[in-house]
Structure 1
């Protein structure tokens, strides 16, 4: 009888050979409901490569009957290598369930040995119901980041250019004259200053691309803010051109998911009912999104 570790390696090799086109997934510590409100870890299948493009599965349901048929869109069984900060942390087999129970589970595969990965990522808490997901899943043997994205202090000129772009996107965001409700009499267009557009997280690659997060401060209303008042991310090219990437984003990681010599950049979307993941590639000229809905 083969040792369990050898059996797993042989199964991983067999499945990897069957999966010719690379897949991108993400580890989530409580992706599947197991009936006891604890949640079971799983791999969310995000993107597959088609030629030189990355594509999502575009798997959305409008009714509960769809939850029983949509699993057929995804691969039935996948061998995944889990990577954190460029280092392998686990090898797992994950299966697509026969049916999903909730819309938010669409695309998630159940890990056959969840106890082995139970402590890879913080679990949700009342204070942090949606912890960041930064453990990348790949069907390739390894993952590297040839562009070497690293945290770095933002360049002052980048901050200036991003603020200029932000002003063009949101010249007069809605605000209140004082802390109150969003009553029409107090809810009005406002004028913002550069100092209100505060830089946050910032990264730079060895190709001299930069990405920068900014947040507009000074919202005075009680109700939920308009789009301008939540975090936004921008990409800055080596020549200084600024591109708006989106809002409510959180960097999940960067890696060469196809072993083609350049890195793709993956963001998690923290959009409440309209959450998901966005992948940017080919120097931010292409992007694709894998939505996650909760209703």
Structure 2
């Protein structure tokens, strides 16, 4: 009985999707679509990283179809499913076959093809396409946990896929060290967004409510466009203290956008910057983030100088 349960969980961790459509021609109705090439460790999140010995770990690449340009808006493909019947029907909302360009940092670094699967077995598989078995999947950087998601398994960073030859980054977003004035503005904005926090009084071991904790907020990373806009991330650092362990909070990284006039806008938390590119060729770069929280992973695409966004997420149970 124990063996059967283990095998059942193992199958649940695989998005085992197949397709019999490789012989069909290109779908001429494919519009302007953005997806992601994901590097996925095949295991159930609850098992943790020690379930498989390192030499037995199995990874695969998979394609997830995410967003489509409709008129002047980016729209997420249908990804909400409440039961197995919803999952089965979700296939009809996705293109049958897509030829992709792989984008990174304003450049095209590969080409792939994917096809709609015969079925979608689990919630975490929503939006997946079957990757051409002959595809050569490019990678960038090293395997880390930055984009691990809820499974907490190290992987290569996802790469943006575009159905048209639109991979440039005209705003030329690049990492920089921001001016002190920007850092101070963002710390003030951080406190307004997060509000009072429970911190540990290291002498007494009691919880204290702090309203001004600017000195504990650390700058993590910043990117600047050629137009003088900033995209920046900050984190509240709270040293571990065993006297106050019961009061510890999960303080998420907070992201802010600063426009050319210096106005600060909070854009979200629990995110990691994936890439920037002009995916609709309107002269303004879209920004895509990886998004992850408990039992939920996904992507957020910001456009029109962060005035609009589209969000694609999935759950695991």
TM over 0.5, shorter chain? yes
Q: Confirm whether residue 99 of structure 1 aligns to residue 110 of structure 2.
A: no
Instruction: Write out per-residue CA displacement over residues 30-59 of structure 1, whole angstroms, 9 at most, x where no aligned residue.
Output: 2888xx973531111111011000000231
Q: Distance in 1 between matches of 2:248 and 2:104?
A: 34
**How many residue pairs get matched?**
274
- State the 1:202 CA deviation: 0.5
Change (3 A) 1:214 1:72: same
Q: Distance in 2 between matches of 1:224 and 1:74?
A: 46
Q: Distance in 2 between matches of 1:281 and 1:200?
A: 23
Q: Confirm whether residue 290 of structure 1 aligns to residue 312 of structure 2.
A: yes
Change (3 A) 1:226 1:57: farther
Change (3 A) 1:37 1:58: farther
- State the 1:86 CA deviation: 2.6
Residue ranges of structure 2 left out of the alignment (5+ in a row):
1-21, 44-55
State the TM-score, normalized to the length of structure 1: 0.82
Q: What is residue 257 of structure 2 aligned with on the other side?
A: 235
- State the 1:282 CA deviation: 0.7
Q: Confirm whether residue 136 of structure 1 aligns to residue 160 of structure 2.
A: yes
On the 8 A contact 1:148/1:205 being kept in 2, the answer is yes
Change (3 A) 1:187 1:293: farther
On the 8 A contact 2:41/2:58 being kept in 1, the answer is no
Other structure's SS at 1:69 match: helix
Q: Distance in 2 between matches of 1:132 and 1:192?
A: 38
Where do residues 1-295 of structure 1 align in structure 2 (5 Å cutoff)?
A: 15=26, 17-19=28-30, 21-30=31-40, 38-113=58-133, 116-117=136-137, 129-131=153-155, 133-177=157-201, 189-218=209-238, 220=240, 222=245, 226=249, 229-295=251-317
Q: Distance in 2 between matches of 1:263 and 1:219?
A: 37
Q: Distance in 2 between matches of 1:217 and 1:50?
A: 41
Q: Distance in 2 between matches of 1:94 and 1:286?
A: 28
RMSD: 3.0
On the 8 A contact 2:166/2:281 being kept in 1, the answer is no
Residue ranges of structure 1 left out of the alignment (5+ in a row):
1-10, 180-184
Change (3 A) 1:69 1:16: closer
Change (3 A) 1:254 1:67: same
On the 8 A contact 1:123/1:131 being kept in 2, the answer is yes
- State the 1:88 CA deviation: 2.2
On the 8 A contact 2:175/2:222 being kept in 1, the answer is yes
Other structure's SS at 2:293 match: coil
State the TM-score, normalized to the length of structure 2: 0.77
